[in-house]
Amino acid sequence: QVQVVESGGGLVQAGGSLRLSCTASGLPFGYYAMGWFRQAPGKEREGVSCITSKGGSTIYADSVKGRFTISRNNAKNTLYLQMNSLKPEDTAMYYCAAKTRAGWDRLDPSNFAYWGQGTQVTVSS
């Protein structure tokens, strides 16, 4: 069966960095565009970044542009999110998922499936 596991979250001070990883098994990882999403308490899940299947194109939410970098290693079935210059407002549970629908919006969670359990990122001020 499909298994998606996020890791790398933690507690960091504002201005610090974290690198998230997402490892998938049981699905053709290199076939799908992959995305990172986050959800803070009381808020809707929002798209953070997405990368195409071969890594040739990326997209970022305006709130993280210039600070976060998405990448992938298809040989290792792993997705990454390098997060720099973290802010308290980046605090959330972070999830990765595969873009399984053909919808044009690569940051819309409804176009994604195979969600992991998430990894918590907490940024202190």
Tell me the pLDDT tens digit for each residue of 1-38. 999 999 999 999 999 999 999 999 999 999 999 999 99
Confidence of residue 104 (pLDDT cuts 50, 70, 90): confident
Measure the CA–CA gap between 125 and 30, rounded to whole angstroms.
38
Is the distance from CB of 90 to CB of 120 less than 8 angstroms?
no
Mean pLDDT, rounded, for 37-65: 96
Mean pLDDT, rounded, for 54-74: 97
